[in-house]
Amino acid sequence: MSEVKVPELAESISEGTISEWLKSVGDQVEQGENIVELETDKVNVEVISEVSGVLSEIKAEEGDTVEVGSVIAIVSEGESGSTSSEQKESDDSESKDSKDKEKQTEAPKESAAKSEDTSKEEASSNDRVQATPSARKLAREKGIDLNKVKTQAGDVVRPEDVEKASQPSKPAQQEKQSQPAAQKNENPSKPVVREKLSRRRQTIAKKLLEVSNNTAMLTTFNEVDMTNVMELRKRKKDKFQEDHNGTRLGFMSFFTKASVAALKKYPDVNAEIDGTDLLLKQYYDIGIAVSTEEGLVVPNVRDCDKKNFAEIEQDIHDLAVKANNKKLGLDDMMGGSFTITNGGVFGSLMSTPIINGTQAAILGMHSIVTRPIAIDKERMENRPMMYIALSYDHRIIDGKQAVGFLKTIKDLIENPEDLLLES
């Protein structure tokens, strides 16, 4: 027998939520096989079985919060077939012993005592029935005896089996329809659906509120003429993709390299406050905001000052794939020094992004829109323009530094060849 425990997650994470059981009670599991997925404040973590055997017991339901080190399941040695057979023999033996004891009982018991014994027997019997955690939870909520639930497929009771068993017969339904409703919706024309926030969404809400409450956040804006970088990308993208094993040349690598150059010029933007100290970071791990179905995550591209355009583009692509496949690790999320978010991919023209965690600033990119621009006093031209924004912590960064930082980004993007010298 082997206990499955919640593993050490990270220094700042002490608990997680059971997101999904990948195996059911009675299923065969192999050593190293994933059996349950935990949702933490930052990423989803899959927990493996340390031994081969049968998942004989599940101690935490989907949706339960579990602490690091707690036992959430038991894996027994053997195979699923033999386990089921042994379980059946054990149940038959217990049933026989129970009947023998009942025959030997001479004195009748009080009705209240009988009711209590019956409840205990039903609970014990329910524990012996093979059922998924979600089915057990639903059965408890509806007060249904799992022994009386007919399964649709196999021997394991599933939620749809419990749901079907909970539906009243047709006469009962007709009787129920003939009775007035106990409670009426106060405003049936305004229906609402109540859903519990996921752990990820709760964490996002908490962190954003903390940043809003604990920083003196301001935002400054500028606009960038994207003509030159778009022309350079158009000329070089095919050769770039050919030379770098299919890696595409996007705009993010230009803005990442421009950010590194600006951070070197304005080091306070690459800092954070720790008590009464200012930590000036001597590394350039740039967080790239990625939108997923469960919310925004910010994995980090490490050592951007030491990587070329192709390496940065490939890292961004790999992290985005991992994020959408829920495969990001805690190492991917920890320790960034500066963040870039691109609302332009969703059509945003302008925004005031919120600083990520304890960082000092965040750069916001937006949609590229063709607008008439004055070239000089006499000429107007239609140019592809992008508004950019820098939200910053005014406790660390003065307005002059913030404007200078954003102006450096603008100059480098409008003259992309300079990135080779400045970054």
Catalytic residue among 161, 318, 398, 411: 398
Please, which pLDDT band fits residue 184 given cuts at 50, 70 and 90?
low
pLDDT the model gives residue 277: 95
More confident residue, 229 or 201: 229
Instruction: Give the pLDDT confidence score for residue 153 in this predicted structure.
Output: 53
| Predicted model pTM | 0.64
Show the DSSP H helices in 158-283 as ranges. 159-166, 170-178, 199-214, 227-243, 252-265
Residue with tokens 């979600």: 134
Is 252 in contact with 341 (CB distance < 8 Å)?
no
Contact 255, 409 (CB under 8 A): yes
Structure tokens at 307: 């990587």
Q: What separation, in Å, do the N-terminal and C-terminal C-alpha atoms of the chain show?
A: 57
AA letter at 303 = D
pLDDT score at 178 = 46
Q: Give yes or no for a contact between 146 and 136, defined as CB atoms under 8 angstroms apart.
A: yes
Does the pLDDT of residue 66 top 70, yes or no? yes
Between 187 and 356, residue with greater pLDDT? 356
Helix (H, G, I), strand (E, B) or coil at 184: coil
80 pLDDT band (50/70/90 cuts)?
low
| Dihedral of alpha carbons 115, 118, 123, 124, sign | positive
**Count of other CB atoms within 10 angstroms of residue 252:** 20
- Can you give the pLDDT at residue 185? 54
Q: What is the mean pLDDT of residues 119-146?
A: 68
d(CA 134, CA 336): 38
Q: Identify the residue with better confidence: 87 or 78.
A: 78
How far apart are the C-alpha atoms of 156 and 174, rounded to whole Å?
Answer: 32
| Six-digit token string for 420 | 């080779």
Q: Clarify whether 398 is annotated catalytic.
A: yes
Of 92, 243, 331, 394, the catalytic one is: 394
Q: Band of the pLDDT at 423, cuts 50, 70, 90?
A: low
Average pLDDT over residues 104-127: 50
394 given a catalytic annotation: yes
- Residue 154 predicted with pLDDT over 50: yes
Average pLDDT, the chain: 83
pLDDT value at 392 more than 60? yes
Which of 108-126 are b and which e, b meaning 16 or more Cβ less than 10 Å from the residue's Cβ?
Answer: eeeeeeeeeeeeeeeeebb
Residue 274: beta bridge partners?
277
**pLDDT for the residue 176:** 46
pLDDT band at 258 (very low <50, low <70, confident <90, very high): very high
Summarize the confidence of residues 17-43 as an average pLDDT.
86
Residue 414 confidence (pLDDT) above 60? yes
pLDDT band, residue 373 (cuts 50/70/90): very high
Q: Among residues of the chain, what percentage have pLDDT more than 70?
A: 80
Query: Percentage of the chain surpassing pLDDT 90?
Result: 45
pLDDT band per the 50, 70, 90 thresholds, residue 402: very high
Q: What is the pLDDT of residue 102?
A: 52
- Token pair 């959408």 is at which residue? 324
